[in-house]
Structure 1
Amino acid sequence: MSSPSVEATTTATRHAASVADAVKVYGSGDTAVRALDGVSIGFPAGRFTAIMGPSGSGKSTLMHCAAGLDTLTSGAAFIGDTALSTLDDRRLTLLRRDRIGFVFQAFNLVPTLTVAENITLPIDLAGGTGDRQWIDALVDVVGLRDRLHHRPAELSGGQQQRVAVARAFAGQPDVVFADEPTGNLDSRSGEEVLNLLGRAVRQMDRTVVMVTHDPVAAAHADEVVFLADGRLVDRMESPTADRVLDRMKAFDSKGAPS
């Protein structure tokens, strides 16, 4: 039997990442938790997609499985046309290194390295040289030209997260997954990071998939998809913070509009 695919319903759209009939169950027997319950969704290339839902809705699980950080119980996850389930551990590690970028709530910078060294760290660890012209342009996009020789302790939280964003994009990945990237930032710094992610998508033709609980953050995306109880329950194009907040309020505990 061939792996399930989302291609039939989205023949005109190229997806940077997608899942089809995704099921993820943690535990077994009476204690089993169905974190994803048959989710099929594609994340279009060159777009900024936000994933929202109540606590326990499965949004982080969806991101982790789509990014190959966790495995599905059943169904399939793809980066482009590559089915993650067909890869052994080594090839999956190489795919994550070469085709996926990550931005997390914690900045995860190496304190002994400069900003410039932190940005190119994944490329350096892989033994590559990277596209220096791309990295140079990226430094300007994230506004760190005058901070390249500073170390993380000399930067504000917002500046550190901008370094993390630059590092995620440095290898020109197919998709960058961002998990609550503004969670540790004040509102002004968070807004700067969200604007930065938006610029990377619209000015540099990148793809971003962001998990967030914040309607203001979600409003920076091109589209918001809503999960509840492990299921995809709605999606919204051209979101605003007020519309997203209203939609979140409309979901009852079962994930259906009340």
Structure 2
Amino acid sequence: MTSTATTSPAVTAIAARATGVTKAYGTGDARVLALDDVDVAIEAGRFTAIMGPSGSGKSTLLHVLAGLDRPSAGTITIGDADITEMSDKQLTLLRRDRIGFIFQAFNLLPTLTAAENIALPSKIAGRQPDPLWVQSVVETVGLGDRLSHRPSELSGGQQQRVAAARALAGKPDIVFADEPTGALDSRSGEELLRFLQHAVREMNQTVVMVTHDPAAAAHADRVLFLSDGDIVDEMHNPTSDEVLEYMKKLGA
């Protein structure tokens, strides 16, 4: 196992955990095993990246951890809640109340301003967001002068930062980001990744990000490497060169 971090004796809280998780699609000869008996703990207050070759199961792992898909076997917990035992309605409420999402597609409502898009999840949940927290998120993401603009009036990078601010506005227990820089140019992607770093280090958020980009993964505290549906290694305090070299070993 590759690690450049010193081990801390302190007990770290676990934001999410997969235990013996398998995910299969199809049946018989058409059965495909996307995840194969995966065990992993996501530490709270840290930035974790998930990497692997195409078809390794990285997006599937993110989706089952986030409750967007159900495993075929095994358990997933968010905090102390076993989400594999939840009904669809319970899962929907948990995702709404405790999880933030950032996807490659920005998923903003075109008729709403940036400020309205950021506040939307809390409004749907019938909650009043903490104004000081939202202000802090907006200032950190650098959108203070763009809040009255609609998505069509914003650049791709600005739209993704609105999406990131929306994910954090409700103070979620954990934020899942699926290729969040995939549709961005390098400068906009760097700005988003620095924001996610800041959210973890200064705002005590927990972020889990799937990426194919070693430079993006280098912003994380920890990188998990998947191959053929299983976690084969991890790296702490990674550099982009170290991640790139390891991905070459995996045949990516």
Alignment partner of 2:165: what SS? helix
Please report the TM-score for the alignment, with normalisation by the length of structure 1.
0.93
Partner of 1:180: 179
Asked if the contact 2:19–2:40 (Cα under 8 Å) also holds between the matched residues in 1, the reply is yes
Per the TM alignment, residue 12 of structure 1 is displaced from its structure 2 partner at its CA by: 2.5
Partner of 1:4: none
Instruction: List runs of 5+ in structure 1 lacking aligned partners.
Output: 1-9, 254-258
Post-superposition CA distance 1:70-125 (Å, at most 9, x none): 00000001101110022111111110001000000000000100010000101011
Whether 1:72 aligns to 2:71 is yes
Post-superposition CA distance 1:231-257 (Å, at most 9, x none): 10000000000000000111258xxxx
Task: Give the Cα–Cα distance (whole angstroms) in 1 for the partners of residues 62 and 104 of structure 2.
Answer: 14
Task: Give the Cα–Cα distance (whole angstroms) in 2 for the partners of residues 136 and 54 of structure 1.
Answer: 38
Please report the TM-score for the alignment, with normalisation by the length of structure 2.
0.95
Partner of 2:101: 102
Partner of 1:17: 16
Whether 1:200 aligns to 2:199 is yes
Partner of 1:82: 81
Task: Give the Cα–Cα distance (whole angstroms) in 2 for the partners of residues 184 and 223 of structure 1.
Answer: 23
Task: Give the Cα–Cα distance (whole angstroms) in 2 for the partners of residues 251 and 145 of structure 1.
Answer: 42
Aligned CA RMSD, in angstroms, stands at 1.3
Task: Give the Cα–Cα distance (whole angstroms) in 2 for the partners of residues 206 and 195 of structure 1.
Answer: 13
Task: Give the Cα–Cα distance (whole angstroms) in 2 for the partners of residues 239 and 181 of structure 1.
Answer: 19
Q: Figure out how many residues of one structure are paired with residues of the other and give that number.
A: 244
Whether 1:166 aligns to 2:165 is yes
Post-superposition CA distance 1:146-170 (Å, at most 9, x none): 0111111111000000000000001
- Sequence identity of aligned pairs in percent? 62
Relative CO higher for 1 or 2, CA cutoff 8 Å, sep ≥ 6? 2
Per the TM alignment, residue 127 of structure 1 is displaced from its structure 2 partner at its CA by: 1.2
Aligned residue runs from structure 1 range 1-258, under 5 A: 12-252=11-251
Instruction: List runs of 5+ in structure 2 lacking aligned partners.
Output: 1-8
Task: Give the Cα–Cα distance (whole angstroms) in 2 for the partners of residues 152 and 16 of structure 1.
Answer: 32
Task: Give the Cα–Cα distance (whole angstroms) in 2 for the partners of residues 251 and 132 of structure 1.
Answer: 45
Asked if the contact 2:52–2:250 (Cα under 8 Å) also holds between the matched residues in 1, the reply is no
Per the TM alignment, residue 13 of structure 1 is displaced from its structure 2 partner at its CA by: 2.5
For 1:178, the aligned partner's letter is A
**Residues 87 and 11 of structure 1: CA distance in aligned 2, closer, same or farther (over 3 Å):** farther
